[in-house]
Structure 1
Amino acid sequence: GRGRGRFWKPTTLPLFVQWTELLDPTNLVVSIEKIEKSRQLLLTNEDAFIHDLEDRRVQEAWKRSLSTVHPDNSKLIPVPFRPAALLPFTAPMVSQPRPQVSFYTYTTAFNIVNGNASYNRRPHESLLLGTGVIASSSFFGVGVPSLGQTHPLLCIFFSTSTAHISAMNVVAARSLEPIRGIEVMDKEGNVMGYSRRAGTKAVKDTATSRIVLFGTSAFIPEVFSHFFIRTQFFRQYPWSLWTFKLSCTVLVMGLMVPVSFSMYPQIERIQCNKLEKEIQSATEETELFYNRGV
């Protein structure tokens, strides 16, 4: 009874619109007191339709809860790792000539914090796993050649490697989910069991969304920069390249973060016949639900 069903109800809003609201930067500075009040309001209005425009308080409480509280364990998400923090933290790193260790350190922590938390894990396991993932991601990342000045077209090609390494980072950081299984629930939020197949799908879908996010966010600014360095403005002000590239990256990521997050629902459906036999025998439902993570 973690109460996940209370805070992840079906919504009439398209996922993209929903995420643009959850990614509001003000969600990074909301006080703990306001978050707790929002949670209590949702608990006392459990049966209310949370997108009822006549009840703005419930609607705002719902958004605040989704953007600051982990749906699996109901714990506050640390401010630097809330979904709204991804853009301001990673955009300056993605705009660099090649991936930085700091980029993989942050994304590893982000993936672990925002992954599924319904399976049993000890703190030291997350620490050891995170350290290994940071080391391996950084090893592959720093191996990407920095050929921007002599081979700009190759730099465009190699920039997409950030996307593939980021996807590998998700798979490695959340590798315990397919091994131990994650909770699957019926539509009322009752846990039917732990599924390794659901864990595998959750990690796979999230990794795919990362490829779209960081692949597009790294590729498009490199393409524009390739043409920008040919302009007269760049010849007069060569220092402007970094500013141009950073601005372009922020604009592209500003669009791609909600796009990638909305590729798959936060609470995904899975047909019961695709799950393990012991889970199928535990319920008569034809489909179950699980938290995909971010």
Structure 2
Amino acid sequence: MSGELSLRIDTKEPRWDQSSFTGRAKHFFTVTDPRNLLLSSKTLEEARRVIEDYRKGKVSPGLTEDQLWRAKYIYDSAFHPDTGEKMILIGRMSAQVPMNMTITGCMLTFYRTTPAVLFWQWVNQSFNAIVNYTNRSGDAPITVSQLGTAYVSATTGAVVTALGLKSLTKHLPPIIGRYVPFAAVAAANCINIPLMRQRELKLGIPITDENGNRLGESKAAAQQAIAQVVVSRIGMAAPAMAIPPVIMNALEKRAFLKRYPWMNAPLQVGLVGLCLVFATPLCCALFPQKSSMRVSRLEPEVQALIREKNSDIEVVYFNKGL
């Protein structure tokens, strides 16, 4: 029918070219947009209806391509891609900035006393556990045992790192002590993510050819995927936990904060939020979601399996996760 929207648009893939950093950044700026948290249930259900109808070959009257993409990103922001269930509000990617700015801001503000360090590291790892559970894979779901092990291990790692470094920096300049929370968060990410994805490290993750045809599972691909996610997560935290301490250290020497000390936490949270608005999508975009690896870098048995199927394949692809 003339004027009707084409059914050839692939709404399961991002709108922008994911082979370029710019395209990936545009995608993740949309995915992590905090405004999606304010959408009503009616709006979310309408977006779900539009997308599900479109995938069945039904186009809503008057639907434009921009409206379709908007519906796709609203749908993706609230519903799990594998199960179709509505995700926990604070576990959604659109909650990353507001939740992390609050938690990180408080970690950077209340870092001087041991009870405060314990409390905020616990809050941070509890939030991470919720995010990991909410965004679990439907193909390889996280078990309660895996979730509990990762949660306890990451929390313990973060607390031990924070308290250990805190004691070592007692006699150093105050600015050094402000970076203890970042070191603790980085250590926790190095523990938490591999533990949450230990099944992938043991059994491998699905690898495909460039057309999406499944070739098998690879542990080497899992190692690369997890390493990329760890780097991205630490990168997200770095600007928010490295820049505000310098600014706050300078501001605390000024008369304003000495006169109004209660402004410390709101200022810190605001500065962290400003950093996270940009750091979160840009660091998610550091590596392609559809990551790749040369066949020669895979395990020998996986290489042999691929050569049997098609000796011309030189590169395989896999989903690195978030």
TM bucket, shorter chain? 0.7 to 0.9
Q: For 2:145, which of 121, 125, 140 is the aligned residue?
A: 125
Conserved in 2, the CA contact under 8 Å of 1:108 and 1:173? no
SS in 1 for 2:317: strand
Q: How does 1:230-245 map to 2 (within 5 A)?
A: 230-245=253-268
Q: Distance in 1 between matches of 2:280 and 2:213?
A: 31
Structure 2 partner of 1:7: 12
Structure 2 partner of 1:68: 78
Q: CA deviation at 1:116?
A: 4.8
Corresponding letter in the other structure for 1:27? N
Whether 1:153 and 2:153 are equivalent positions in the alignment is no
Q: Distance in 2 between matches of 1:251 and 1:142?
A: 24
**Greater shift in the superposed pair: 92-101 or 147-156:** 147-156
Q: For 2:308, which of 278, 281, 294 is the aligned residue?
A: 281
| Structure 2 CA distance for partners of 1:112 and 1:175, relative to 1, 3 Å | farther
| Structure 2 CA distance for partners of 1:42 and 1:9, relative to 1, 3 Å | farther
Q: For 1:101, which of 122, 130, 154 is the aligned residue?
A: 122
Superposed CA deviations along residues 167-211 of structure 1, whole A, max 9, x for unmatched, are 212223223222221112334433222221111111100100111
Q: Percent same amino acid among aligned pairs?
A: 18
Corresponding letter in the other structure for 2:69? Q
Q: Distance in 2 between matches of 1:217 and 1:58?
A: 34
SS in 2 for 1:86: helix
Q: TM-score, normalised on structure 2?
A: 0.76
* Structure 2 unaligned regions, length at least 5: 1-9, 112-119
Q: TM-score, normalised on structure 1?
A: 0.82
Q: CA deviation at 1:54?
A: 5.6
SS in 1 for 2:287: coil
Q: Distance in 2 between matches of 1:268 and 1:38?
A: 30
Q: CA deviation at 1:36?
A: 2.9
| Cα RMSD (Å) | 3.1
Whether 1:137 and 2:146 are equivalent positions in the alignment is no
Structure 2 partner of 1:217: 240
Structure 1 partner of 2:89: 79
Q: Distance in 1 between matches of 2:268 and 2:93?
A: 23
Conserved in 1, the CA contact under 8 Å of 2:125 and 2:151? no
Structure 2 partner of 1:260: 283
Q: CA deviation at 1:280?
A: 4.6
Q: Distance in 2 between matches of 1:45 and 1:205?
A: 37
Q: For 1:179, which of 179, 202, 206 is the aligned residue?
A: 202
Q: Distance in 2 between matches of 1:189 and 1:61?
A: 25
**Greater shift in the superposed pair: 68-77 or 236-245:** 68-77
Q: Distance in 2 between matches of 1:226 and 1:250?
A: 18
**Greater shift in the superposed pair: 83-92 or 150-159:** 150-159
| Structure 2 CA distance for partners of 1:10 and 1:274, relative to 1, 3 Å | farther
Corresponding letter in the other structure for 2:215? M
SS in 2 for 1:245: helix
Q: CA deviation at 1:42?
A: 4.7
Structure 2 partner of 1:27: 36
**Greater shift in the superposed pair: 28-37 or 205-214:** 28-37
| Structure 2 CA distance for partners of 1:110 and 1:184, relative to 1, 3 Å | same
Structure 1 partner of 2:49: 37
Conserved in 2, the CA contact under 8 Å of 1:182 and 1:195? yes
**Greater shift in the superposed pair: 11-20 or 192-201:** 11-20
Q: Distance in 2 between matches of 1:252 and 1:63?
A: 23
Q: Distance in 2 between matches of 1:106 and 1:271?
A: 36
Q: CA deviation at 1:141?
A: 5.0
Corresponding letter in the other structure for 1:290? F
| Structure 2 CA distance for partners of 1:273 and 1:113, relative to 1, 3 Å | farther
Q: Distance in 1 between matches of 2:156 and 2:256?
A: 40
Whether 1:114 and 2:139 are equivalent positions in the alignment is no
* Structure 1 unaligned regions, length at least 5: none
State how many pairs are aligned. Answer: 284
Which of these two proteins has the greater Rg computed from alpha carbons? 2
SS in 2 for 1:11: coil
